[in-house]
Structure formats: structure tokens, C-alpha cells
Structure 1
Amino acid sequence: MGTQARPTTSGQTTLALDIGLLLLLSLIWGSSFTLIKVAVPTIPPITMVAARVTIAAVLLILIALAQGHALPRQGSVWVAFCVQGLLQSALPFTLISWGEMHIASGLAGVLNATPPMFVLAIALMTGHGRQTISGRRIVGVALGLFGVAVTIGIDAPSGIGTAAPPLAQVAVLGASLCYALAPIWGQRFSELPAVVTAAGAMSCAGMLMLPAAAILEQPWTLTPPPPQAVAAVVALAVVCTALAMVIYFRLIRTLGPLGTTSGSYLRAGFAVALGTAWLDERFSWSSIAGMALILAGVVAITMPLPIRSAQRPPVRPSPSSHAGWNN
């Protein structure tokens, strides 16, 4: 009896910590929408993304070295880092920044709340992680998406494919697909410290975005941005990227891709709440109802699946069942 209680208590504590970190991550990334609104009028999107990921990369490298971690030397690991940096930061940050120049933020929020949909679709099509899918989690995904629609405005999805520019909508949906693929790809870094993975991925993202900004936007020719725009970019880099990525790669290991991407619902809800508080946007009781639905969906997705008691001998795991670097 006593030996069974300890793992249960430990598991409950770990789950509570993970959900708390998911809430924190969602709040951090939800605030990024407000910070981007402050910066983008005077700092072009590609330049802003390049500065954001480069500052974050430098900070993460310094933190990793200060903690005694050595960066990997294998070329294959850095190729994987580049894919991660492209999927998690370089491409989606740019797509969202460009998309929001052409469509309303509410519509963008609904479109950007779809990563769990893509994760489920990928799992069903490929079989990757299919064992983690249950009816409860599918219902949780549906509840979360409906909650986002209610929070932002139940009529917001009606703009999809109509008045809003289709290409901008495709761009934001493309970012959501990137956010769905990123945690699936990121599972291969489970043996590395989260700060090392974050440093490697952001370093590669910076190496991708700096030349793009120099070629396409030539930031040295622009009028110097105001202090509040610079402060917004620094906050995006330090808090919304460096700190957020360390939390993110930890959650990939503990909650998995579907649980981690469920934070996209909360991120949209926090974005609405922060917009109401700081940008004088309208707040209604529908927002409260929507946030309740979002929280219910996240709980349904992130709670561990029940352990089914079998009346037959347990199956012994084979050596091939262990995930290695090349899986």
C-alpha cells in the first residue's frame, strides 16, 4: 500500500507542475500578440523575428554554458536543431507577423488555435502517438476550439474564406501546422537538457532569419524605432522566446505533443484578456464562458489516460520499443 501511494502522489505533483507551466507558457505567448502590436508598426516583421530569435539564442547559450552544459558537436544534431528552429520559431513567427498585417487579430487567433487539430490528424494518419488518442482528448480538442471561438467572438470564424484575404489566412494556418509539427519533431531531443535544445534551435533560427532580414528588409536603412518598440522586441526575445522555449521543451517530454499544443487555446484566451486590460478591447460574458470551455478542453487533453487493468499477463516491452535518437 505504501509503495503504491508514493508514485501516485509524485505523479499528481508532476502533473500539477506541468499544468502550471502550461498556463505560464500560454500567458507568456499570449502576451506576445500585444508586444508584436507595439513593435510591428516601426519594425518590419522579418527584422523583428530575426532580432527576437538572435537575442534569445545568445541568452540561452550563455545560460547553458553557465549551467555547465556543452553544446552538441555532432552535425546531425545541428541539422535537427535547424529543422526545429524553422518549425518552432523562424517560419511561424514570420507567417503570423505577416498574416496579422492583413487580417483581424480575432480571426488570426481562431486560425492559430488549430495546432491540436493538426496533431490529432497527423497521429491518425501516421500512427505516431496514436496510443495517446482517446475519445476524451478528441472531445477536449473540440471544447478548446469552440472556447476560442466563443472567447474571441462566435462570429469570428465566419470571416474565414470570405472578406479576409485567403493568402493571409493560409499563412496563419501554416504557422499552426508548424506549431503542430514542432513538438513531434522535438521529441527526438528528450535526452538533451531543455536549455541546450532551446539554445540550439534558436541559434539555427537566428542563422536563418538574419540573412533573410538583411536581404529583404535592409534594417540599417530604416528609421530608428521608438524606445517602446525596442523594449517590446527585447521582451519578446527574453521572455516570450528564451524563457518560453525552456518551458516548452520540458513540456514536450512530459505532456507530449498534443498536451503541449493544447496551450494554443489558452494562448488565444490570454491574448484576448491582455488586449482587454491593456488595449481597451471590449470584454463580455462570452469571454468568461469561452475561457471556461478552454480550461475544460485543456484539462481533458492533458490529464493522463486511465490505466486499464487487464486480466491477462502484462506484455513485456521489447528492446525496440525504446525511442532512440534516430526514431
Structure 2
Amino acid sequence: MTTQQHPAPTAVQPTQAAGQPRIMLQFIGMGLIWGASFLFMKVALTGVSFGQVAWSRIMLGALTLAIVALVTRARLPRQPIIWLHFTVIAITFCVVPYLLFAWAEQYISSSLASILNAVTPITTAVMATLVFRVEKLNWGQILGVLVGMGGVIVIVAPWQMGALLGDWRGQVACLGAVTCYGFALGYLRRFLGPYKVPSITSAFMYISIAAVVMLILTPVVASQPVQLDLWVILSLIGLGALGTGVVYIWNMNVLTAWGPTATSGVTYVTPVVGVLLGSLLLQESLSWHEPVGAVLVFVGILLTQQRIRLGRRVRA
């Protein structure tokens, strides 16, 4: 890999690539593989700790992306500010949410984790609008955020005593993870979009920086004994090489083409895949309030992404 001086930053908006079939296929692939990631985590937790799940995921992802970067002769930027921004992304888009999701699945099902992951477009819209000001929400989108938040409350079900005593920890951890995702997507658009860093370079940089962080944290998160079998190993490979390697290149392509809020709509697909796999392979079941809350979240997403529009005045 060689270095290259990037041109002066210029304003970037989502490109016309949004209409290309290649981008749509990558978007669907993201949903399928990330949906399966919740199953991979659940299976991997039978043989390793939650910290080791996150550690292995990031290390295998970094190795995969390093190979891709070498083969494609990816060029790394020289500006220190770009490396600093990617360090923020590495922590908020990888290290913290991966640890939170892996920890959460010790207490909740993979199906429920995949449903809570669907809140990402809501947190992304809030962050992109209120924190980073790279997008503006109309009244319909604001309603979507509120409906989505209502859906989260229904999923968590605070009226149930068990929710206050049992798996609420896992649900809160998942909500913390999707808040990190929303922050990271808005941050990418606000601070790194103007530099036009290529997709492969971007994915390689922040996953590799995350790997360095996890190496430093190894004595804390990955020093426990392990019990490996074929399924645990395959789950870790799927979670790392695919879910944190190849898919992150696709994610950067879609983000460049569609922008942060639309890209986070991949969570239309992930909960469907996650619930199906959890039900078919792990015999997981859901309570009535969880799919009902999921429907509210999806309606909120549709409103937030303007797939559903409120009535407009008709001009004469």
C-alpha cells in the first residue's frame, strides 16, 4: 500500500450511484450478512466470551480488509486529521457497539437483538440532524422519529416486571450500540465525506485502527479460556471475514451513494433475517409486544426516510 496526498476537501452530496443495480445488490447483501451476524454471535458465545467475540470479529475483519487493500493497491491518506477522524469512527462504529451487542446477547435472544438493531435509522436521523447538521428533517420525519421511539418502548415493555429485573440490561446495551452507529454514520458524513476517501481505504482504515485498539485491550477483553468447536469457529469467521470485512466495503459504497439515513435503512432487512434464523436454527420465540414494537419502528423508519409522506396541500 502506498500513500497519497488527497485533494483539498470539497462538499459532497449523495451521488447518482444510488440508481445503480450494483449499489442495490450491495445494500441487500449487507442486510443478509449483518442479519446473520446476530446468529453468529449467539453461537460463538457458546465457546468464547463476549469480549473474545468482538476481538475475533475485528481482527478477522481487519485481516480480510488488509488482503483486499493489498490486492487493490489501496492508497492511504497522509493528513493526520483524516487518521484522527477514522480513529473516532473505529471506536464508535466498531469497538464499542461490537462489545455491546456481544455482551447483550448473553441476556437476550439473537432475534430481539436484530429487532433492536433496526432502531439505527432513527438514531442516525437524530444524530445527522441535531448533532452534525448534515441533514434536515421535515415534520413527517420528526413524526417518524417519535413513532420509532414509541416502538422501542413497546419492545422493551417497561410495564412488565421482568423487564425491570431481567433482560433489560441486554436491551439497553443494544440501544447504546445503535446510538453509536447513528453517531458514527453522521460523523462520517460530516467530517470525512468531503475528503472523498475511497471505500476500500475507508473500511480498511477504521477496521484496522479498531484492531489496534482491541490489541491494546486484549488483557481485559480476550484473556479468558475458550472452548472451540467447528460451529464456533465458523461463526467467528462469518462474523469477522464477512460481517466485518467484505460487507464494510459495501457499506462505504452505499453510504457514499445514498447518505447516512438511507444507508442505515439496511435495518429493514437485518431483523427479518435475524428473526428467521433465530427461530429456525435456535428455536427462539418472541413475545407479542416485540413484533408489535418492531412494526412501529419500521413505520418510523419509513416516515423518517420519506418512504411514507404526509399529505400535502394541493396547489390550484
- Normalising by structure 2, we get a TM-score of 0.76
The answer for unaligned runs of 5 or more in structure 2 is: 1-14, 310-316
Stretch of structure 1 that moved more, 172-181 or 260-269: 260-269
CA 1:259/1:276 → structure 2, altered by over 3 Å: closer, same or farther? same
Q: Quick check: 1:78 aligned with 2:83?
A: yes
3-state SS of paired residue (1:173): helix
Shift of 1:32: 0.2
Following superposition of structure 1 onto structure 2, how do residues 125-144 of structure 1 map, counting pairs within 5 Å?
125-126=130-131, 128-131=133-136, 133-138=137-142
Equivalent in 171, 195, 198 of residue 193 of structure 1: 198
Following superposition of structure 1 onto structure 2, how do residues 9-48 of structure 1 map, counting pairs within 5 Å?
11=16, 14=19, 17-48=22-53
3-state SS of paired residue (1:71): strand
Following superposition of structure 1 onto structure 2, how do residues 133-282 of structure 1 map, counting pairs within 5 Å?
133-138=137-142, 157-158=157-158, 162-187=164-189, 188-190=191-193, 191-219=196-224, 222-281=225-284
| Residue in 2 that maps onto 1:63 | 68
| Aligned-residue RMSD, C-alpha | 3.6
**Alpha-carbon distance in structure 2 between the residues aligned to 1:74 and 1:12:** 27
CA contact (8 A) 2:18 2:257 kept: no
- Normalising by structure 1, we get a TM-score of 0.74
CA 1:118/1:17 → structure 2, altered by over 3 Å: closer, same or farther? same
Percent identical among aligned pairs is 24
**Alpha-carbon distance in structure 2 between the residues aligned to 1:251 and 1:230:** 29
CA 1:286/1:177 → structure 2, altered by over 3 Å: closer, same or farther? closer
| Residue in 1 that maps onto 2:92 | 87
- Aligned AA (2:104): G
CA 1:223/1:290 → structure 2, altered by over 3 Å: closer, same or farther? closer
1:62-82 deviations in Å (ceiling 9; x for gaps): 212211222223332222221
Stretch of structure 1 that moved more, 249-258 or 18-27: 18-27
**Alpha-carbon distance in structure 1 between the residues aligned to 2:91 and 2:176:** 12
**Alpha-carbon distance in structure 1 between the residues aligned to 2:144 and 2:270:** 16
**Alpha-carbon distance in structure 1 between the residues aligned to 2:62 and 2:236:** 14
- Aligned AA (1:232): S
| Residue in 2 that maps onto 1:118 | 123
Equivalenced residues, count: 290
Larger Rg: 1
Shift of 1:292: 8.3
**Alpha-carbon distance in structure 2 between the residues aligned to 1:162 and 1:286:** 15
**Alpha-carbon distance in structure 2 between the residues aligned to 1:293 and 1:205:** 34
1:166-218 deviations in Å (ceiling 9; x for gaps): 44433222111101011112223331111110000011111111232333441
**Alpha-carbon distance in structure 2 between the residues aligned to 1:290 and 1:216:** 33
Shift of 1:23: 2.6
**Alpha-carbon distance in structure 2 between the residues aligned to 1:255 and 1:139:** 22
**Alpha-carbon distance in structure 2 between the residues aligned to 1:125 and 1:290:** 25
3-state SS of paired residue (1:129): coil
- Aligned AA (2:216): P
The answer for unaligned runs of 5 or more in structure 1 is: 1-9, 307-327
- Aligned AA (1:272): V
- Aligned AA (1:276): S
CA contact (8 A) 1:110 1:148 kept: no
3-state SS of paired residue (2:42): helix
3-state SS of paired residue (1:88): helix
